[in-house]
Amino acid sequence: SNRELEQFAYVASHDLQEPLRAIVGFLQLLQSRYEDKVDEKGKHYIDRTVKAAHRMQTMIRELLTLSRVNSKEPKFLQTDLNSLVRDVLDNLQTMLQEKNAEVACEVLPSLSVDESQIRNLFQNLLVNGLRYNESARPRVDIGFQELDDSYRFRVQDNGIGILPQFHQRIFMVFQRLHTDREYPGTGLGLALCKRIVERHGGTIWVESNTTGGSVFYFTLPKNIRQL
């Protein structure tokens, strides 16, 4: 069943963390203590292994987050989304500075949501708009529109864009459109976004921006009930 698969994913990702930490630790010891005993080719191999292990750590961490979203009941609390987005931007300061990027955000409503999950949602969408962006001045705009019984949010970027034939595929687990060398990532971020929105009773989709880049839309009900 789906619940058994979710439980397996949670246990597997949780239990993999400790041995992987040990692997990374020993590899870093090799790097620091035996640097003068390894030739350049050996150093290159160790460096690549460390990077691969770090990537696996990131994948396991995100898989664990996805499992928790699937298995734990959301805790809906009235949340100021403006404050939440400010927190996300604080977390992304280094990336914003490195990319010379700007983020513009409309005044957002307060809404009953699972704060941790919605923070994850905005962070993943913002990172997506900044990472897949070759513009000299990357820009992400956040806005919303009030509908009858929900809010429709918009996260718009001026990045490389997504071809229409991939608009659904990108929300599937481990689906990537680029190699890790082109753009680092795990293929879990947008799958996590989709599950978070669904757990809140909404929908998420992407459209191509007429001026280049992508526009991610998602809806959140005004009156969220336990789902």
**89 and 150 inside one domain:** yes
Which pLDDT tens digit goes with each residue over 83-140?
999 999 999 999 999 999 999 999 999 999 999 999 999 999 999 889 878 888 999 9
One domain for residues 99 and 67: no
87 and 107 belong to one structural domain: yes
Whole domain around residue 154: which residue ranges? Answer: 76-221
Instruction: Give the three-state DSSP class for 117.
Output: helix
- Residue 57 belongs to a domain with what CATH number? 1.10.287
Angle subtended by helix axes 40-71 and 2-33, to nearest 10: 150
Residues 80 and 140 in one domain: yes
Number of domains in the chain: 2
The answer to whether position 138 is within a domain reads: yes
Same domain, residue pair 112 and 194: yes
Backbone angles phi, psi at 199, to 5 degrees: -65, -20
| Cβ atoms < 10 Å from Cβ of 138 | 22
Q: What are phi and psi of 74, to 5 degrees?
A: -60, 145
| pTM, full prediction | 0.74
Could you tell me if 88 and 180 lie in one domain? yes
pLDDT tens string 195-220: 999 999 999 999 988 777 899 999 99
- The reply to whether 227 falls in a domain is no
- C-alpha–C-alpha distance, residues 21 and 15, integer Å: 11
HEC string for the chain: CHHHHHHHHHHHHHHHHHHHHHHHHHHHHHHHHCHHHCCHHHHHHHHHHHHHHHHHHHHHHHHHHHHHHHHCCCCEEEEEHHHHHHHHHHHCHHHHHHHCCEEEECCCCEEEEEHHHHHHHHHHHHHHHHHCCCCCCCEEEEEEEECCCEEEEEEEECCCCCCHHHCCHHHCCCCCCCCCCCCCCCCCHHHHHHHHHHHCCCCEEEEECCCCCEEEEEEEECCCCCC
| Residue pLDDT, tens place only, 51-91 | 888 778 777 777 777 777 777 788 899 999 999 999 999 99
